[in-house]
């Protein structure tokens, strides 16, 4: 039995250096393709989160305007302390939005929101969007002034 195992092990060869280098090159090519794609997915999800935060603010403003019918605009400049925000009863957190202003025309439904916020590596300033544009998703951020 011992001689049989020794003969089998003698016939076995390891990987050559060329084969090993070929495997490393293939892995490097796959990584070079995958890493940028993954980073774009992460940035896109952060921008989607910013749009979702804006939708939350718009929903809170809808409730605010329903209870305060005489108001036509509500906002937050990002510097006021807790307790002084007019929307605090309707909105727990603004997420990544650093300031916003919501306006309405007639009725109780807000028509536009103008906001600034951070989405990962980009900062969006003075983005103005309607509910329909926000429902369309990240494309509503497209015309914004951005700073990398």
CA 63 centroid distance within chain = 25
Residues 6+ apart with CB under 8 A from 148: 121, 122
The whole model's pTM is what? 0.69
Q: What is the pLDDT of residues 4-48, one digit of tens each?
A: 777 776 666 667 888 889 999 999 999 999 888 888 888 888 888
Q: Which two tokens stand for residue 115?
A: 């906001």
CA distance linking residue 26 with residue 120, whole number of Å: 31
> Helices (H), strands (E): how many in the chain?
3, 5
Q: Which residue has the tokens 């995958």?
A: 34
């Amino acid at each position: 039995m011992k001689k049989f195992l020794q003969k089998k092990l003698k016939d076995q060869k390891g990987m050559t250096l060329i084969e090993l280098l070929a495997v490393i090159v293939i892995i490097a090519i796959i990584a070079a393709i995958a890493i940028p794609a993954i980073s774009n997915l992460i940035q896109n999800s952060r921008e989607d989160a910013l749009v979702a935060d804006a939708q939350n603010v718009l929903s809170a403003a809808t409730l605010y305007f329903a209870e305060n019918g005489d108001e036509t605009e509500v906002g937050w400049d990002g510097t006021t302390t807790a307790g002084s925000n007019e929307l605090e009863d309707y909105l727990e957190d603004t997420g990544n939005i650093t300031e916003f202003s919501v306006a309405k025309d007639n009725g109780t439904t807000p028509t536009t929101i103008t906001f600034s916020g951070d989405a990962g590596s980009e900062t969006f300033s003075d983005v103005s969007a309607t509910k329909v544009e926000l429902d369309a998703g990240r494309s509503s951020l497209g015309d914004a002034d951005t700073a990398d």
